[in-house]
Amino acid sequence: MIRNVRVWILASLVALRPLPAQRWHLVWSDEFDGPAGARVDSTKWRYALGDGCAINLCGWGNAEREYYGDEPSNVSLNGKGQLVITARRAPLGLQCYYGPCGYVSGKITTQKRVDFQPGRVEARIKLPAGQGLWPAFWMLGANIDSVGWPASGELDIMENRGSKPGITSSAVHGPGYSGATPFAHEHTLGGRAFADDFHVFAVEWDSTAIRFFVDSVAHYTLKRAEAETRGKWVFDQPAFININLAVGGIFDGDPRSDTEFPAAMVVDYVRVYRASADLKRR
C-alpha cells in the first residue's frame, strides 16, 4: 500500500512538472550599436516613407496623421546601443493627404531585406505615453506584394494606445479574421506604465499555434484550429518585421493638447530565433 502511494505521488509530481522550455537558436539580431545619430543598418532595415498614399492607403489605411521620414531627428541610434524613433510636430509646409501634416515620425521594416521563418521574434522596448500615440512592433507575410492584405497574414506582437499607458495588445489578422479581428488580447502591466521602463515583447509561432509574450509571460495563444473556424491559416510562411511610432488614426484617436512632443519609442534590441529541431531538419 505504501509503495503504491509512493508511486502515485511520484506520478503526480511528474504530471505537474512544467514542460521543458523550447530550445531556441539565435539566427538574426540587431543590437543597434553605433554612434549617436547614426542611421539603421541598411542591410537589415529600410525606411517606410510618406503618409501611406504611395500604396493607395493614405494614412496607412488607418487614418494616421503622421508623415514617416528618415531624418536622424525621427529615426536614429542614440549611441547607447539603442534605436530611437521620435514623433515630432511637423515643420510648416509639409503636406499630408489631409492637408498640412501635423506630425513627423519614423517606421523601419525588414521587408526586401530579410524575411523570417516561423520561430520566435522579440524586442526590448520602452514606450512613449500620451493620447494619440501608437507604437507598434509587428510582422507581415513576405508575400504581401503578390497576395495583398489580409491574405498575407499579420502578427501584431505589440501595439499600445498612448491613452492607456499600462496596457498593450497583441492580435492576429488573416483572411476571414482581419480588421476588427476576434483574435486579439490585451495585457495589463498592473499599476505601472510601459513608459517607465523597458519590456520584452515576443511572439512564437509554428504550424499549430501562435503565442504572444510580455516579459516572458504568455498572455495570449491562438491555436490553428481556432483560426480556421474563421478562415485560412497563412502562418506557415516567411514574414518580415515592422517597428513604427504612428500618431493619430483609428486606434487611439488624434493627440490631445496635453500629449507631449517630441515623444520617443526606444528599442534596445530585436532578436530572431529558430527552434533547434527546425534547424536540424534543414
Catalytic residue numbers? Answer: 154, 159
CA-based nearest residue to 241, from 26, 29, 25, 23: 29
Q: What cell does 189 get?
A: 502591466
Other Cβ atoms closer than 10 A to 81:
12
Phi, psi of 232 (to 5 degrees): -80, 140
Residues whose CB is less than 8 angstroms from the CB of residue 17 and which lie 6 or more positions away in sequence, other chains included: none
Beta-carbon-side half-sphere exposure of residue 222 (alpha carbons within 13 Å): 27
Rounding to the nearest 10 degrees, give the CA dihedral for residues 232, 233, 238, 239: 80
DSSP 174: B
